Structure 1
Amino acid sequence: MKIVADENIVAVQQHYTKHGELALLPGRSIRPEDVRDADALLVRSITQVDRKLLEGSRVSFVATATSGTDHLDLDYLASAGIAVADAAGSNANAVVEYCLAGMAELICTRQFTLHNKTVAIVGFGHVGSRLYKRLRELDVTCIVCDPFVEEQSRVDRGRHEELRHVSFCDLATALAAQVITLHVPLTRASSHPTFHLLDEARLAQLASGTLLINASRGEVVDNQALLRRLSDRNDLLTLFDVWENEPDINQDLLGLVSLGTPHIAGYSVEAKKSASRMSYNAFLRHFGLQVGFELGIEELVRRRVDVVLTRENSISDERCWAECVRAAFRVPDIDRRLRVPANGQSAALFDAIRKSLAERREFSNYAFDQQLLDGGYVSERVANQLTQLGFTFRGSEPARE
């Protein structure tokens, strides 16, 4: 058996070499001649898998270590009898934490507050539903725009009991919210297509001061239309992780967004391991091999997060949790790296930054010093909120600097 794989998939050598010949390649450089005699193809979102790549090959199985599948021509793969496996939901928590960290940065720099704001979550799948839960735990008012899930909740209320208290709305209502966060798949042929869901007309409707977050797919927002809107009146707050034409993104648009990152919202050690586990077990099932996946037992040794807080009455609970989240995941550090002049090599810089962030850990790997709580720097309410986000409070000895 021959297996062709993206070289950056976690544990790919560790697990696939035992099943045959393994060829590791840069994801953006996989060509038809590379897969001609392959039986399985393992990719990430940067590889377009379609007729042009696979026709004439003997590939019978394609796995993507990603939640999204817009880089796969699913119609062609089905017609060719090629089995497909994705890793839907594997990076949901990482994306949620990215969104919270981005909002935390804007809160800490006094550009934004969630107080008395309504957050419109567009797309209520793995990411959107989890973000909704986290924001509600922070006492944030949320509305949801997802016509598919809304219809499911109507058809079978008993089966979807957890949706009973969700406030669904149409897209026009969502776009009138003070915060709009996009978590939809990229679709074109659908009753509710998401390609350029936010086009020129809809972007023009956004009120001054609106925070717009896109951590779904770049093509969900018309980047040229957004560039025109921000060039004409840059009165929006914008947190953008995904772009049209990645990795060769629009540098003028990057210069105008509030925070910009190179499609890394879902990047974390935990997300990558989960995606690899899902892909590998699907591979084993497809080829009739024994199912089982181990990445080695890893002891959870929480890293200590250093955060500077005061006991002044002037610091709100919101600012307090935001400072703590910001200390664990600093989105502006990535933003600054992406804005460095690249002398015509912006696409290479985009990919290099992505590769360098392979060791990002999720909030569950971090601990705050118990003295923050005992000393009155963090209220019980904020401590509970941070615990719900995955953090812990503990003494100095177990945590790692």
Structure 2
Amino acid sequence: MPIPLLVVIEIAEEGRSRLEAAGFEVDVEPDLRARARHIREMAPHARAVLTNGSTGLSAGDIAALPNLEIICALGAGYERIDLAAARERGIVVTHGPGTNAACVADHAMALLMAAARGLVSADAAVRRGGWTGARQLRPTISGKKLGILGLGTIGEQIARRGSAGFGMPVAYHSRTAREGSDWLYLPSVRELAAWSDFLVVATPGGATTRHLVDEGVLDALGPDGFLINIARGSVVDTEALIAALRQGRVAGAALDVVEGEPDIPPELIGLDNIILTPHIAGRAPEAAKATLGLVIDNLQAHFGGRAVLTPVA
């Protein structure tokens, strides 16, 4: 008999088919407004939930599902899953570290290059007939200092792309220095920002990293520095960033994630020294296949009486 699986995020039809072929009865409800009602309807049945870090699963949702055994986060993040509530019930929580790391690192470098070289604004100017006006002097990338906030799997891949591809010196800040790392460790975010020409945010989201990049960090990055965020929008103080960009206290920014997404502040959209993409850094066919594959492996391990592959501690 198929195992009831409640999916509270958007999922492609191919993904649904893979889950069903793996032995799960899939019920999908990505709409936040309808989710509470849907969970009540699924309550007697659901034994597993598929979510992601941005959507999560609240303590109330967990309490409403008495037969829930496992929560799987699609991708590395799990910051909005109530781990305490899950732990109290003995519910297993898994995530997908590394499954989309290469794709996200590629996107980070694409944003970095586009911001530095002014590619988006140059393209728009040429399309408007402003060929001559678009031929501005823009910073080079090779040899510039690359700072990485959060040296996890993704941060490490960004570091290697910058170092090997562009000869960039690399420094990083994490909660602790990584033993054996090839890169320079700096003990605070501000020191990292002051050192960097490009500061890439690659740290997890959640309460402990909220507004880690604040006004002081942006001032340390300075008027020639660029901020790139492929992590979580909550890590950057959006109001402080808007002010810094508007006043020229940083040179530019490129964001794949924004606080409160998909609602973007009009003040941010109106700036010409920022590039915005709609949280797509991890969206590639190869990454999607690997990420869902790990979810299926974790689900099958759990319901087969084996230890899951990638538990959240």
> Would you say the 8 A contact 2:225–2:251 is kept in 1?
yes
Describe the shift of the 1:141–1:240 C-alpha distance in structure 2 as closer, same or farther (beyond 3 A): same
Describe the shift of the 1:243–1:209 C-alpha distance in structure 2 as closer, same or farther (beyond 3 A): same
Q: Deviations over 1:212-271 (max 9, x none)?
A: 001101010111121222233364210111111111121211322521111111111111
Query: RMSD in angstroms over aligned alpha carbons?
Result: 2.2
> Would you say the 8 A contact 2:40–2:64 is kept in 1?
no
Q: Distance in 2 between matches of 1:4 and 1:196?
A: 32
How many residues align? The count is 276
Which sections of structure 1, spanning at least 5 residues, go unmatched? Answer: 154-160, 292-401
Name the residue aligned to 1:269: 285
The residue type equivalent to 2:292 in the other structure is S
Which sections of structure 2, spanning at least 5 residues, go unmatched? Answer: 120-136, 308-313
The residue type equivalent to 1:241 in the other structure is D
Describe the shift of the 1:231–1:241 C-alpha distance in structure 2 as closer, same or farther (beyond 3 A): same
Name the SS of the counterpart of 1:112 in structure 2. Answer: coil
1:183 to 172, 197, 202: 202
Name the residue aligned to 1:30: 35
Name the residue aligned to 1:201: 216
> Would you say the 8 A contact 1:120–1:144 is kept in 2?
yes
Name the residue aligned to 2:303: 287
Name the residue aligned to 2:192: 174
Structure-1-length-normalised TM-score: 0.64
Structure-2-length-normalised TM-score: 0.81
Identity of aligned residues (%): 24
Name the residue aligned to 1:2: 4
Q: Distance in 2 between matches of 1:20 and 1:183?
A: 33
Name the SS of the counterpart of 1:111 in structure 2. Answer: coil
Describe the shift of the 1:79–1:91 C-alpha distance in structure 2 as closer, same or farther (beyond 3 A): same
Shift of 1:76: 1.6
Q: Distance in 2 between matches of 1:44 and 1:235?
A: 32
Name the residue aligned to 2:129: none
Instruction: Please tell me whether residue 49 in structure 1 is matched to residue 57 in structure 2.
Output: yes
Name the residue aligned to 2:122: none
Q: Distance in 2 between matches of 1:18 and 1:185?
A: 30
The residue type equivalent to 1:92 in the other structure is A
Name the residue aligned to 1:94: 103
> Would you say the 8 A contact 1:4–1:34 is kept in 2?
no
Name the SS of the counterpart of 2:185 in structure 1. Answer: coil
- Structure 1 stretches of 4+ with a deviation exceeding 4 A read none
- The worse-fitting range, judged by mean Cα deviation, of 59-68 and 8-17 is 8-17
Q: Deviations over 1:25-68 (max 9, x none)?
A: 22545333254121111123442301121213121111111111
> Would you say the 8 A contact 2:218–2:250 is kept in 1?
no
> Would you say the 8 A contact 2:22–2:296 is kept in 1?
no
Name the SS of the counterpart of 1:175 in structure 2. Answer: helix
Q: Deviations over 1:305-328 (max 9, x none)?
A: xxxxxxxxxxxxxxxxxxxxxxxx
The residue type equivalent to 1:122 in the other structure is L
Describe the shift of the 1:214–1:64 C-alpha distance in structure 2 as closer, same or farther (beyond 3 A): same
Name the SS of the counterpart of 1:184 in structure 2. Answer: coil
Name the residue aligned to 2:174: 146
Name the residue aligned to 2:133: none
Q: Distance in 2 between matches of 1:288 and 1:36?
A: 22
Describe the shift of the 1:27–1:273 C-alpha distance in structure 2 as closer, same or farther (beyond 3 A): farther
Name the SS of the counterpart of 2:146 in structure 1. Answer: strand
Name the SS of the counterpart of 2:151 in structure 1. Answer: coil
Name the SS of the counterpart of 1:98 in structure 2. Answer: helix
Shift of 1:290: 9.4
Q: Distance in 1 between matches of 2:22 and 2:185?
A: 49
Q: Distance in 2 between matches of 1:7 and 1:206?
A: 36
Shift of 1:7: 4.3
> Would you say the 8 A contact 1:7–1:26 is kept in 2?
yes
